[in-house]
C-alpha cells in the first residue's frame, strides 16, 4: 500500500512534468515561429531601405544633372556675378576712396566669373606634430582669361562698393 501511494504520486508528478514540458515545447515552437517571422520582416525592411536609398541617390543625381548647365552648339550662356570692394581708410578724397573701392569690386567680380567658368584649384597642407595640427595652409587659385565682361550696375554705400558684372559666353568661345 505504501508503494502504491508512492507510485501514484510519482506517476502524477511525472504526468505534471510531462504536461509542463509539452506546454514549454509548444511555447518554444511559437517563439521560434514568431522570431522567424520577425527576422523575415526585418530582412524585408532592410531590402526596402536599400531600395529607398538607391532611389534617393538616383533622384539626387538626376536633379544635379538637370541643374547643371551645359553649353550646347548655337547656344549662349549669361553668367552674372557681384563683386565687392572696400574703400581704404587713408585716402585723400572721397572720389579716390570711391575709385579704389570700385576697382577692387571689379577685380573681385572678374575673379568670381573666372571661378564659375574655369573652376578653382585648391591646394592644402597640414603640419601635424605630437598628434596635433600645428599649421594648416589652404591656397586657392584661378587661372583664366576673362574678356568682354560688362559692368551692369555699381552701388557705393558707406565705403563698400558693389559691382554687378555679367558675361555672355557661347560654345564657340571654348572650341578651338
Three-state secondary structure call for residue 162:
strand
Confidence band, pLDDT 50/70/90 cuts, at residue 67: low
**Residue 139, all three cell numbers:** 591656397
Helix (H) / strand (E) containing 34: helix 2-67
What is the SS3 assignment for 57-110? HHHHHHHHHHHCCCCCCCCEEEEEEEEEEECCCCCCCHHHHHHHHHHHHHHHHH
Spell 104-137 as b/e; 16+ CB within 10 A means b.
bbbebbbbbbbeebeeeeeeeeeeeeeeeeeeee
Average pLDDT over residues 123-149: 91
Helix (H, G, I), strand (E, B) or coil at 168: strand
What value does the mean pLDDT take over residues 29-45? Answer: 85
Q: Quick one: pLDDT band at residue 45, thresholds 50, 70, 90?
A: confident
pLDDT at site 84: 97
Residue 33: pLDDT band (50, 70, 90) is confident
Confidence of residue 20 (pLDDT cuts 50, 70, 90): low
Mean pLDDT of all residues in 55-67: 77
Amino acid at each position: 500500500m505504501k508503494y502504491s501511494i508512492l507510485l501514484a504520486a510519482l506517476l502524477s508528478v511525472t504526468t505534471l512534468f510531462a504536461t509542463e514540458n509539452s506546454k514549454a515545447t509548444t511555447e518554444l515552437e511559437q517563439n521560434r515561429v514568431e522570431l522567424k517571422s520577425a527576422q523575415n520582416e526585418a530582412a524585408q525592411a532592410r531590402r526596402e531601405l536599400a531600395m529607398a536609398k538607391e532611389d534617393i541617390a538616383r533622384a539626387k543625381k538626376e536633379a544635379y544633372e538637370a541643374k547643371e548647365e551645359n553649353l550646347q552648339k548655337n547656344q549662349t550662356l549669361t553668367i552674372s556675378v557681384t563683386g565687392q570692394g572696400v574703400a581704404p581708410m587713408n585716402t585723400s578724397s572721397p572720389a579716390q576712396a570711391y575709385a579704389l573701392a570700385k576697382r577692387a569690386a571689379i577685380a573681385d567680380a572678374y575673379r568670381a566669373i573666372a571661378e564659375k567658368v574655369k573652376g578653382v584649384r585648391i591646394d592644402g597642407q597640414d603640419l601635424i606634430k605630437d598628434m596635433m595640427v600645428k599649421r594648416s595652409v589652404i591656397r586657392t587659385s584661378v587661372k583664366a582669361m576673362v574678356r568682354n565682361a560688362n559692368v551692369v550696375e555699381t552701388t557705393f554705400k558707406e565705403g563698400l562698393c558693389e559691382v554687378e558684372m555679367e558675361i555672355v559666353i557661347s560654345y564657340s568661345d571654348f572650341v578651338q
